[in-house]
Amino acid sequence: MEIATTFLRQLDHIGPEFRTYQDGILIELAFDRTIGTEQVSASVLLETADDLKIRLHTQTTQALLLASKIHAFDAHTPSRIAEMMSIHGYFKSHRLSHPLNAYSTALFISRLTPQDAVLERTVQLYTRLKKQHRFIVSPLLISFVYFHATTRGELDELASRIETVYQRLKRRFGRAQQTYVVLIFALLPEDDWDRYIAQVEASRKIHRKHHVPLSFHGMLALLGDPDVHASSLERMAEALRSDLHFKYRKDLVYLTAIRLYLSQQTILQQLFPSSILPPDGTDAIPFLLFPVDLTDTSHATDGGIDGGFDGGGDGGGGGE
């Protein structure tokens, strides 16, 4: 519960500093400050956002949210922005269309100190997957394609493994299942697949009244038996629900509680191949769990996953 208290305190501080922004944006900014390792003033954050708005030809809200993600973990933002721009340029040079070349994807991958050979494998693997699954287009999903590209094996074998997982999940959850779960699932040892599917199903049953997207169940399932974590999540959600910033964003209460809860579960770091972790392992969990556009819900931008930080209008997560 301590992290929920910290988050609410950050939300109270952010409100007056960004009073012209709607609640969904404030919630996302407070989240970044809560799980981040760096703290900057509102004026510095806005200055970076203004710079990004001009550089990236994007909207004010999208620039602010991207700036928040940068400042949360980077003490020296100019070098991070430069690396992000370089990776974005690489994808763009391969004529990969939006949102594959999203700046949010480039930011996330830049933190993993990528090698040119892995970036090339990412493009090649994406091309193979895209032939069968045209819906693999979101920034987050491409980040997970990058994870697969860092692992050993021929690209055709990796693509076949991902397809096997997709077909297995489709039989259980239907076509509506989110590809995010497929790509994270396929990183796990095959011996764990049956147990993981069972835990995804159990999580859906336990949290069914909260309308949690399958991508969140996919992350919760990695923690083990969902029953063990259910009461803690409920208490955290209850603490958030009473805050006025959630009055018109009740849809974000439980999702925010899950994200905060997951950010503290360091066991997740042990489940992935070491090749996909950043050099500084202490920062690995936030990078793995919370790249921009976590799901196709409107938890931050009201633009969904296809709007994200690189598209959509200058809207926000406010309280219509």
pLDDT value for 304: 30
Q: Residue count of the chain, please give it.
A: 320
Whole-prediction pTM? 0.85
Burial class (CB in 10 A: 0-12, 13-18, 19+), 172: exposed
Number of domains composing the chain: 1
**58-70 burial, b if ≥16 CB within 10 A, otherwise e?**
bbbbbbbbbbbbb
318 domain-assigned: no
pLDDT in tens, the chain (320 residues): 799 999 999 999 999 999 999 999 999 999 999 988 899 999 999 999 999 999 988 888 889 989 998 999 899 999 999 999 999 888 888 877 565 457 888 888 888 888 999 999 999 998 888 887 766 656 567 778 888 998 889 999 999 998 898 888 888 887 655 666 788 888 888 999 999 999 999 999 999 999 888 888 888 998 999 999 999 999 999 999 999 999 999 989 999 999 899 888 877 777 766 666 666 655 555 555 554 443 333 333 322 333 333 333 333 333 32
Cis preceding-peptide flag for 99 (omega within 30 of 0): yes
pLDDT value for 172: 84
Structure tokens of 232? 């803690």
pLDDT value for 254: 93
64 domain-assigned: yes
Q: Residue 48: which of 83, 82, 81, 17 has the closest Cα?
A: 81
How far apart, in whole angstroms, are the C-alpha atoms of residue 24 and residue 317? 3
Burial class (CB in 10 A: 0-12, 13-18, 19+), 283: middle
Q: Are 138 and 291 in contact (CB under 8 A)?
A: no
Q: Which residue has the tokens 């925010």?
A: 256
3-state secondary structure of 159: helix
Burial class (CB in 10 A: 0-12, 13-18, 19+), 142: buried
62 domain-assigned: yes
250 domain-assigned: yes
Q: Which residue has the tokens 């790249």?
A: 291
268 domain-assigned: yes
24 domain-assigned: yes
Q: Are 114 and 276 in contact (CB under 8 A)?
A: no
Residues spanned by the domain of 42 = 2-307
181 domain-assigned: yes
213 domain-assigned: yes
